[in-house]
């Protein structure tokens, strides 16, 4: 029987949200030793070295420094409480972030920015601070500020966690003092953004998207019949019409998109169409991230994937989100 994502209504508890805050299966085996810096990009080797040094300190159990240990220089110095990896998509930032998590002592947490905001929304700010203040390290992938509410919420959360001694690590395609630009009136929240930026040692990682080096932009789309037939023959493969799928996503909170894919081994989408609605497009970005986390092959008919987002969207404030989603969807389509 073919799985229809558009007919699923998953429920996700706050306990599940917290328990799932670990690197996704795609990065379960990521380690510094398996990261391959591009020889032509010195910044990649430099970032690797900085993170390896940081991991050596974070591998030690969290301790409250005493006055005597400070005077004798025995308290490890991590500098700023957070490290922030900035760079284009596909340069290995997530691999490095997951490696840092794997090689650090617990308790620790790994999540995307969207998952973090969903978690705080589910728990409430006060309970989230109580739950996370004992953590040694919190890793946040794809750090973004999409609206003023997120800015205020995350600024307050991280300020309290830093005050409690929690170490932070984050990746993004946007420098921390530029977060929110092109998406809302970032100048009105400049103090909050600057406070966030002050917590991080920024490391720029340059290079081309490794997923597409020397490869075509997008594979040829399948036909509707090919997608439907393959979904019927292949175990645990979903198949939904594109319109049915994106309408269903509008009725689910993004925190439930991961659970929507429970038990799914591949995703089929028929009649893929160009998008010009920002809300629909951003929901597809979240779904693409959850698919990529789980390394789910994509079977798609309709327009080629590189035509999914309009030219105007690829020039707008969310362009980096859309480009990342395209990079990931195309990579998943090549594995189908």
Q: Which of 191, 208, 225 is the last residue of a domain?
A: 208
Q: Which of 176, 208, 240 is the last residue of a domain?
A: 208
Q: Are 238 and 264 in contact (CB under 8 A)?
A: yes
State the pLDDT at residue 76. 57
State the pLDDT at residue 189. 42
State the pLDDT at residue 332. 95
Judgement on whether residues 46 and 128 belong to the same structural domain of the protein = yes
Query: Counting beta carbons within 10 angstroms of the beta carbon of residue 18, is it exposed (0 to 12), middle (13 to 18) or buried (19 or more)?
Result: middle
Is residue 100, in this structure, part of any structural domain at all?
A: yes
Give the residue from 6, 25, 18 showing the smallest Cα distance to 292: 25
| Half-sphere exposure for 160 (CA within 13 Å, toward CB) | 15
- Tokens representing 75? 């308290």
Could you read off the pLDDT of 73-91 as tens digits, one per residue? 444 566 788 898 888 767 8
Number of residues that make up the chain? 336
Judgement on whether residues 237 and 201 belong to the same structural domain of the protein = no
Is residue 45, in this structure, part of any structural domain at all?
A: yes
Band of pLDDT at residue 179, cut at 50, 70 and 90: low
Place of tokens 């929901």: 283
Judgement on whether residues 165 and 74 belong to the same structural domain of the protein = yes
Place of tokens 């799928």: 245
Judgement on whether residues 251 and 267 belong to the same structural domain of the protein = yes
Is residue 15, in this structure, part of any structural domain at all?
A: no
Residues 104, 109, 111, 117: is their CA dihedral positive or negative?
negative
Is residue 189, in this structure, part of any structural domain at all?
A: yes
Judgement on whether residues 147 and 234 belong to the same structural domain of the protein = no
Q: What is the DSSP letter of 202?
A: E
Give the residue from 291, 335, 328 showing the smallest Cα distance to 308: 328
Q: Which of 166, 192, 208 is the last residue of a domain?
A: 208
Is residue 19, in this structure, part of any structural domain at all?
A: no
Q: What is the 3-state secondary structure (H, E, C) of 126-195?
A: HHHHHHHCCCCEEEEECCCCCCHHHHHHHHHHHHHHHHCCCEEEEEECCCHHHCCCCCCCHHHHHHHHHH
Q: State how many domains the chain has.
A: 2
Q: Is 38 left (phi over 0), alpha (psi -120 to 50) or beta?
A: beta
Domain extent for 74: 31-208
Q: What is the DSSP letter of 317?
A: T
Is residue 140, in this structure, part of any structural domain at all?
A: yes
pLDDT surpassing 50 at residue 92: yes
Is residue 230, in this structure, part of any structural domain at all?
A: yes
Strand, helix or coil for residue 130: helix
State the pLDDT at residue 297. 97
CATH number for 172: 3.40.50.300
Could you read off the pLDDT of 213-229 as tens digits, one per residue? 544 478 999 999 999 99
CA–CA separation, 115 and 141 (whole Å)? 9
Judgement on whether residues 187 and 236 belong to the same structural domain of the protein = no
Judgement on whether residues 306 and 163 belong to the same structural domain of the protein = no
Judgement on whether residues 123 and 107 belong to the same structural domain of the protein = yes
Judgement on whether residues 172 and 268 belong to the same structural domain of the protein = no
Is residue 22, in this structure, part of any structural domain at all?
A: no
Judgement on whether residues 142 and 241 belong to the same structural domain of the protein = no
State the pLDDT at residue 148. 61
Average pLDDT, the chain: 85
Judgement on whether residues 106 and 169 belong to the same structural domain of the protein = yes
Judgement on whether residues 188 and 238 belong to the same structural domain of the protein = no
Could you read off the pLDDT of 97-114 as tens digits, one per residue? 999 999 999 999 999 888
Better pLDDT: 242 or 117? 242
Could you read off the pLDDT of 229-264 as tens digits, one per residue? 999 999 999 999 999 999 999 999 888 899 999 999
Residues 279, 212, 27, 238: is their CA dihedral positive or negative?
positive
Q: What is the 3-state secondary structure (H, E, C) of 60-73?
A: CCCCCCCHHHHHCC
- Tokens representing 256? 């439930």
């Amino acid at each position: 029987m073919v799985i229809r994502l558009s007919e699923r209504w998953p429920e996700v508890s706050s306990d599940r949200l917290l328990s799932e805050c670990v690197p996704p299966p795609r990065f379960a085996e990521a380690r510094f030793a398996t990261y391959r810096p591009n020889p032509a990009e010195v910044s990649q080797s430099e970032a690797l070295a900085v993170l390896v040094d940081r991991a050596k300190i974070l591998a030690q159990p969290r301790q409250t420094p005493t006055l005597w240990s400070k005077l004798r220089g025995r308290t490890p110095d991590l500098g700023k409480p957070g490290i922030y990896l900035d760079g284009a998509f596909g340069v290995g930032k997530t691999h490095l972030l997951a490696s840092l998590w794997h090689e650090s002592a617990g308790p620790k947490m790994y999540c995307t920015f969207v998952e973090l905001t969903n978690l705080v929304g589910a728990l409430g700010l006060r309970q989230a601070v109580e739950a996370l203040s004992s953590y040694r390290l919190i890793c946040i992938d794809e750090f973004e500020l999409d609206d003023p509410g997120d800015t205020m919420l995350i600024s307050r959360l991280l300020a309290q966690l830093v005050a409690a001694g929690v170490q932070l690590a984050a990746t993004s395609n946007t420098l921390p003092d530029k977060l929110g630009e092109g998406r809302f009136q970032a100048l009105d929240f400049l103090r909050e953004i600057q406070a966030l930026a002050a917590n991080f040692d920024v490391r720029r990682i340059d290079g081309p998207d490794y997923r597409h080096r020397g490869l075509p932009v997008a594979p040829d789309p399948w036909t509707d019949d090919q997608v439907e037939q393959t979904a019927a023959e292949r175990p645990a493969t979903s198949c939904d019409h594109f319109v049915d799928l994106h309408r269903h996503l509008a009725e689910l909170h993004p925190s439930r998109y991961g659970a929507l894919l429970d038990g799914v081994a591949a995703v089929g989408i028929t009649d893929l169409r160009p998008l010009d609605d920002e809300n629909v497009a951003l929901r597809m970005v979240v779904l693409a991230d959850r698919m990529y986390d789980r390394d789910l092959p994509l079977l798609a008919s309709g327009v080629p994937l590189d035509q999914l987002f309009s030219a105007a969207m690829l020039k707008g404030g969310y362009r980096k989100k859309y480009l990342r989603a395209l990079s990931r969807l195309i990579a998943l389509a090549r594995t189908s």
